[in-house]
Structure 1
Amino acid sequence: MDQVLEFLQKIWEFFAANILTQPAYFIGLIVVVGYVLLRRPWYEVLSGFVKATVGYLILIVGSGGLVGNFRPILVGLKGRFNLDAMVIDPYFGQNAVTAGVEEVFGRAFASVMLLLLIAFIFNILLVALKRWTKMRAIFTTGHVQVQQASTAFWLILFAFPALNDTWILLIMGLILGLYWAVGTNLTVRITQDLTDGAGFSIAHQQMFGLALFSWLAEKMNSGKRGPSKKLEDMKFPGFLSIFNENIVATSILMTLFFGTILLILGKDYLVEAGFLTASKSFFFYILTTSLNFAVYLAILQLGVRTFVTELSASFRGISQRLLPGAVPGVDCAVSYGFGSPNAVTLGFLFGALGQFLAIGSLILLKSPVLVIAGFVPVFFDNATIAVFANNKGGVRAAMLFPFLAGLMQVFGSALIAGWVGMAAYGGYLGMWDWAVVWPVFTALMKFLSYAGVAIIIAILVLIPQLQYRADKKNYFLVTDDYEQYKQNKAQA
């Protein structure tokens, strides 16, 4: 029996390390399973796997390029001004848990992968029982699951440090699995509306934020001032017409943004830090760094277009045969292939403005926890919020809500990371849900113990029920038959 269990554990470890937490191959596997269930010929299955996997790898190249391009600014702001602060970034947050969880709680980080498995299985079960749970989406963004499982591991241990591993993992798995199922479900309708029924939802770090800001954007659009124009509907006159081209607009705005910060850092510092050689032109370094932003964004959008079609088509096999009416939850960057491309740039700029303003406030107030802006929250959170806000509320919403989100990301992260002790290890996840929603969860568990856990579970279970009651006629139709859903909404 022990040998069987050991063999099963090795299979799980191999699957987790090479497929589940590697989103390109996990998406490829989903495409294979979907096409097999649809009884497609073997060569179409192979073609679908290749296109989906390569498309996601292209997306990762674009995403990684954007992060790397921002690195001189991150390092410079910390080193040039001698700021000893934690970085709000999923990778820094994961490293903080790895470094500190054994020292603070005496627990092994290896338990995180077991937590991920329990939560993922629970997410699938909740969707399989959607007739009663009303949950329609499965969280498939593997690298994000690892980051979230790491941070949840710390937060729940902080609330229940004395519990044994079995109970800790069950409580964690229950709450995290519910969060994944409810969060991805919250983004189903707004993603279908954005993509015109592409058949997926968003599974990332700002799912509750997207739902909230999309709802507020709709309210804003129906207010006294009337509907605001969407970015894609705006045509600039005269010389401003150059901003009608996404690549031109992104390049110019990023040159102003990056150029200003790099000029403040100065050539001498960048040479000393190893980002620039003394013989190279500082002007062309700034220009290349800025233009590369547009390059990597274009690469990311190419990756999205490459794999989304395959994923949407193949998942119909899974939704028909195994999980009727279900949709996959995917990386937030996938949304950048829809709506206005300029919303991505606008969201980044206004989110950065909000974050930098909040960081300046922490410095002026002599906060015990200082924050350095991480690129992942400042770009991927706020660009995604802008894409969805623009779709529901136009230009005003696309500027306002990323700015507010930027403030919340910094203030919320400083509060929770300082309280639970993660700030001492240099990082916190820092994205919207984990700067706003999870601090509330942590406080409920810490102060109310098991009653707090019961309240969290009750709230999470209730959310999709309320969504369903708000529009029973169209709730499942939005994934089952989007064209009919649109007709119903138009008639209403």
Structure 2
Amino acid sequence: MAQFFEFMLGLLKEPAIMVGIIAFIGLIAQKADVSTVLKGTIKTVMGFLILGFGAGALIGALNNFSTVFIEAFGVHGVIPNNEAIVALAQEAFGYEMALIMFFAFIVNILLARFTPLKYIFLTGHHTMFMSMLVAVILSTAKIEGTLMVAIGSITVGSLMVIMPALAQKYTEKVMGTDQLAMGHFSTFSYLIAGFVGSKFGDTSKSTEDLNVPKSLMFLRDTPVAVAVTMALFFMVASIFAGGEFVETVSDGQNWVVFTFMQSLVFAGGVYIVLQGVKMLIAEIVPAFKGISDKLVPGAKPALDCPMVFPVAPNAVLIGFLSSFAAGLIAMAVQGAMDWTIIVAGVVPHFFVGGASGVYGNAMGGRRGAVLGAFTQGLCISFLPMMLLPVLGGLGLKATTFADFDFGVVGLILGWIVS
């Protein structure tokens, strides 16, 4: 029994396999032939892995940029990074986190089966992050063992259906279908971006219809536009940081060459992510019909935020820049007020800011993309600062949870257990 439980936890920690199993079950439920089942399952896993490879390339380049940026402008403070904060808490709460994650997935399926919230949350790493956040906060109230796992599982499992439901009105507008949902714990970022876009934007002027002069037509190609933009950012930061420092980051590679290559790696990562998303969606949506028809009637897959990137690539870039600008302004305010400085983490500002740009554009065109992403960028810069005291001893570290939902859930849960 213990070995089986360990095996199931291992599966849940491998999101690509979990998504593949979901596709497999869906295709079997449709009584598809062996060839279709194999092809659909393998291509679903491949799509997820391709998405992961692209995200890995992106994050590697962004982390290098962040290191150079911090050195260039003398910024010191708390860096929001989900992976880092979970790694720090792993030794103390790793077992509880795994149990909460496992049972939360079961709660998710039960709620999808027996309530009107028909969402299956498939973003495994975000389920893990939320499970860790809940475990840490419950521990500050001396809630431990079975009670921690029970409360944590119900809390996280409920969030796995509630959060996609909250954003679904805007997600349908973005995706042009009601068969997909957002499964990423930055829901409040997308709600704010969509709301701000709808109130202050103009849908007649989309980010995807930008009039670009002939001399700049190359910028209509998304990977090229991303590479050029990132190269400019990276080069400025590298000049201020100094070539000698940059070469310590690059392991001795010439700093100019390193800067240029990292920009291309970043752009290549964006392209790979877009292709992975397209393959994943092409396979998972038909497979989900089997689950919808047989196991959880009306079930909808809730997928990671890059799901929306192919819809409006220009909005992704605009959203990233707008959100990052908000993060820089927030840093200046925090420094002036002598508050804890939350360093503008490039990874959350790219993924969440980019997706927020897409939501803002869907509801309010170019202006919606800029204002929506900028507004949520301010929120994800101040919320982590407010969350630090709730995390107990872990809040004394130089990192914290990055996304909007972690801040909201953490503060509410911290208030309840206190």
Normalised by the length of structure 2, the TM-score is 0.93
The amino acid that maps onto 1:286 is: T
CA distance, structure 2, for counterparts of residue 257 and residue 206 of structure 1: 25
Q: Indicate conservation of the 8 Å contact 1:184/1:207, yes or no.
A: yes
CA distance, structure 1, for counterparts of residue 95 and residue 337 of structure 2: 39
* 1:61 to 2:34 alignment: no
Q: Indicate conservation of the 8 Å contact 1:346/1:399, yes or no.
A: yes
CA distance, structure 2, for counterparts of residue 58 and residue 109 of structure 1: 27
**3-state SS, counterpart of residue 343 of structure 2:** strand
CA distance, structure 2, for counterparts of residue 274 and residue 395 of structure 1: 36
CA distance, structure 1, for counterparts of residue 123 and residue 145 of structure 2: 26
Write out per-residue CA displacement over residues 3-31 of structure 1, whole angstroms, 9 at most, x where no aligned residue.
Answer: xxxx1x321221222x2221111111111
CA RMSD in angstroms, aligned pairs only? 2.1
User: Which residue, out of 318, 326, 333, partners 1:354?
Assistant: 326
Q: Find the counterpart in structure 2 of residue 253 from structure 1.
A: 229
Distance apart, 1:325 and its partner CA: 0.8
**3-state SS, counterpart of residue 301 of structure 2:** strand
* 1:178 to 2:158 alignment: yes
Q: Indicate conservation of the 8 Å contact 2:163/2:185, yes or no.
A: no
CA distance, structure 1, for counterparts of residue 331 and residue 410 of structure 2: 19
**3-state SS, counterpart of residue 371 of structure 1:** coil
Q: Indicate conservation of the 8 Å contact 1:85/1:426, yes or no.
A: yes
Q: Based on CA coordinates, which of the two structures has the bigger radius of gyration? A: 1
CA distance, structure 1, for counterparts of residue 373 and residue 316 of structure 2: 10
CA distance, structure 2, for counterparts of residue 61 and residue 235 of structure 1: 33
**3-state SS, counterpart of residue 373 of structure 1:** coil
Write out per-residue CA displacement over residues 393-414 of structure 1, whole angstroms, 9 at most, x where no aligned residue.
Answer: 1111111122222221121101
Q: Find the counterpart in structure 2 of residue 124 from structure 1.
A: 109
CA distance, structure 1, for counterparts of residue 289 and residue 50 of structure 2: 24
CA distance, structure 2, for counterparts of residue 25 and residue 12 of structure 1: 16
CA distance, structure 2, for counterparts of residue 261 and residue 115 of structure 1: 41
**3-state SS, counterpart of residue 177 of structure 2:** coil
Write out per-residue CA displacement over residues 309-364 of structure 1, whole angstroms, 9 at most, x where no aligned residue.
Answer: 110000000000011111011111121122x2111111111111111221232233
Q: Which runs of 5+ in 2 are unaligned?
A: none
* 1:268 to 2:244 alignment: yes
Distance apart, 1:85 and its partner CA: 3.1
Task: Classify 1:194/1:156 alpha carbon distance in 2 versus 1 (closer, same or farther; 3 Å).
Answer: same
Normalised by the length of structure 1, the TM-score is 0.80
Instruction: Report matched runs for 1:278-289 at 5 Å.
Output: 280=254, 282-289=255-262
CA distance, structure 2, for counterparts of residue 433 and residue 51 of structure 1: 31
Distance apart, 1:79 and its partner CA: 5.2
Distance apart, 1:300 and its partner CA: 0.7
Q: Find the counterpart in structure 1 of residue 20 from structure 2.
A: 28
Instruction: Report matched runs for 1:140-179 at 5 Å.
Output: 140-158=122-140, 160-161=141-142, 163-179=143-159
* 1:415 to 2:386 alignment: yes
Distance apart, 1:419 and its partner CA: 4.2
Q: Find the counterpart in structure 2 of residue 137 from structure 1.
A: 119
Instruction: Report matched runs for 1:60-79 at 5 Å.
Output: 60-78=52-70
* 1:427 to 2:399 alignment: yes
The amino acid that maps onto 1:180 is: M
Write out per-residue CA displacement over residues 355-387 of structure 1, whole angstroms, 9 at most, x where no aligned residue.
Answer: 1221232233322x3333333311111111111
Q: Find the counterpart in structure 2 of residue 109 from structure 1.
A: 94
Q: Indicate conservation of the 8 Å contact 1:96/1:428, yes or no.
A: no
Q: Indicate conservation of the 8 Å contact 1:69/1:292, yes or no.
A: yes
Q: Indicate conservation of the 8 Å contact 2:181/2:300, yes or no.
A: yes
The amino acid that maps onto 1:361 is: V
Q: Indicate conservation of the 8 Å contact 1:355/1:406, yes or no.
A: yes
**3-state SS, counterpart of residue 329 of structure 1:** strand
**3-state SS, counterpart of residue 270 of structure 1:** helix
Write out per-residue CA displacement over residues 387-443 of structure 1, whole angstroms, 9 at most, x where no aligned residue.
Answer: 1111111111111122222221121101211443333233212112123x2244135
Q: Find the counterpart in structure 2 of residue 343 from structure 1.
A: 315
Q: Indicate conservation of the 8 Å contact 2:357/2:370, yes or no.
A: yes
CA distance, structure 1, for counterparts of residue 82 and residue 336 of structure 2: 26
Instruction: Report matched runs for 1:287-366 at 5 Å.
Output: 287-338=260-311, 340-366=312-338
Distance apart, 1:203 and its partner CA: 0.8
The amino acid that maps onto 1:125 is: L
Q: Find the counterpart in structure 2 of residue 384 from structure 1.
A: 355
CA distance, structure 1, for counterparts of residue 88 and residue 299 of structure 2: 35
User: Which residue, out of 200, 203, 206, partners 1:230?
Assistant: 206
Q: Indicate conservation of the 8 Å contact 1:86/1:423, yes or no.
A: no
Identity %: 24
* 1:92 to 2:84 alignment: yes
Distance apart, 1:46 and its partner CA: 0.5
Q: Which runs of 5+ in 1 are unaligned?
A: 1-6, 103-107, 448-492
